[in-house]
Amino acid sequence: MENLLLVVIALLITGIAIAYADEKAVMIGEEPPRDLTLKEALYRTWEYFQFSISVFTKGKGEIGWRGIFFGVFRDYKTTPRELFQYVTGITPETTVLTTLSLLTIVMLIVLPLGLYWGLHAGYRGGLSDKILLILAPVFSGIPAWFWGLFLLWTLWWKFDIGTISYLNYIHREMANGGPGISDYFTALLIPLLALTIGNIAVYAFHVRNFVKKEVKEDYFFADVMKGLPERRILRKLLRTVTPSFLTYTSYNFLNLMINGMALEKLFDVPGIGFVLTKAIDRFYVFTGDGWAPMFYFNPYLVFFVAFIMAILYFLNSTIMEALYLRLDPRREVYGED
């Protein structure tokens, strides 16, 4: 319930900020900006929310006739879904599923590898711990888009592995008979690697720190003195550090999503990051005085991106919280169900 309330508050604040930004984003030929009232900003936020829901409703726009002083002309009113597809060139379902697939695959790779590496580095120390202590600060300070550019040069440019544009690659495969699972994997290869390379070391580093803290507890010394097998001790350590690791994963999910959005833009992956770049743009038009810059700002699409981000964050937080309550060892100590 707290997570849902947090999402609602975040969307309200975001919608109000977008409404004020939309009023200030003056384009050529438009009236000068005016000061919005809070009531007007809230009303626009409600319109943005309705748009974000309506884009998933299939249907065609309405055709009407409007009278003018010398006759009538046809007026076509587009639906939110049609507007979304016209601006972005993709469907909203494709947007959500692409981003969700990208983040899910990354999490399925990062979580087990991070847990395994961090658990053994924290318990055994040695070479793996030394390597982790060197790599974690380096990877945590380098954004995912940098690794994307690095892998683009090493894999795509040097060895023709992966692709620079997801959309172009998939469209080309469609023209040749339709893409298969391997084609989608190839198109997503570099963005996936860019997101996983740095995060594995960062996640493992936090697990390692959690383990180092647990091995100082009395129960750990008692287990060692009892002569319990190493596998059993590691399994117990995994059980005790997993709740803290899930909490970190929940808080870090937003950072992972933002890095994923940057890579979506860089590699033309049709996710929410791709939609955001279509919603905010700058280009030049020719006027009587020459070329003039024109700023395009679509508040409905910007709020749609924020809405999907909030939903994904809420789902991730809910799942991680459920796993936390399920795996927390204190449930057994206090007899909680």
Q: In this structure, what token pair is assigned to residue 67?
A: 């009278």
The whole-number average pLDDT for the span 281-300 is 77
Name the domain count of the chain: 1
* 157: region left, alpha or beta (phi > 0 left; psi from -120 to 50 alpha): alpha
Confidence check: pLDDT of 98 > 70: yes
pTM, two decimal places: 0.84
64/5: higher pLDDT: 5
Structure confidence at residue 324 as a pLDDT band (50, 70, 90): confident
Question: Percent of the chain beyond pLDDT 70?
Answer: 88
SS3 content of the chain, % helix, strand, coil (to 5): 70, 10, 20
More confident residue, 327 or 120: 120
pLDDT at 337: 46
Determine, yes or no, domain membership for 52. no
Asked if residue 179 belongs to a domain, the reply is yes
What is residue 230's predicted lDDT score, i.e. its pLDDT?
Answer: 78
Confidence check: pLDDT of 27 > 60: no
Whether 282 maps to a domain, the answer reads yes
Q: Do the domain assignments include residue 98?
A: yes
DSSP label of 287: E
- Find the domain containing 201 and state its range: 79-333
CATH number where 162 lies: 1.10.3720.10
Q: Is residue 197 part of a domain?
A: yes
The answer to whether the beta carbons of residues 304 and 55 sit under 8 Å apart is yes
How confident is the model at residue 276, as a pLDDT? 94
Residue 57 lies in a domain: no
Q: What per-residue confidence (pLDDT) applies to 334?
A: 45
pLDDT value of position 26: 57
d(CA 207, CA 159): 35
Q: Check: CB of residue 314 under 8 Å from CB of residue 3.
A: yes
132-167 pLDDT tens trace: 999 998 888 888 999 999 999 999 988 889 899 999
pLDDT tens for 229-288 read: 878 888 888 888 888 888 888 888 888 999 999 999 999 999 999 999 999 887 777 777
Give me the pLDDT at residue 302, please.
95
Q: Give the amino acid at 82.
A: E
In SS3 terms, 39-90 reads as: HHHHHHHHHHHHHHHHCCCCCCCEEEEEEECCEEEEEEECCHHHHHHHHHCC
- At 28 the pLDDT is 46
Mean pLDDT to the nearest integer, 48-53? 94
Average pLDDT over residues 7-24: 90
Going by C-beta distance under 8 Å and a sequence separation of 6 or more, which residues neighbour residue 188? 101, 102, 105, 166, 269
Q: Decide if 30 is inside a domain.
A: no
Q: How much is the mean pLDDT over the chain?
A: 84
For residue 173, being part of any structural domain is answered with: yes
Higher pLDDT, 235 or 51: 51
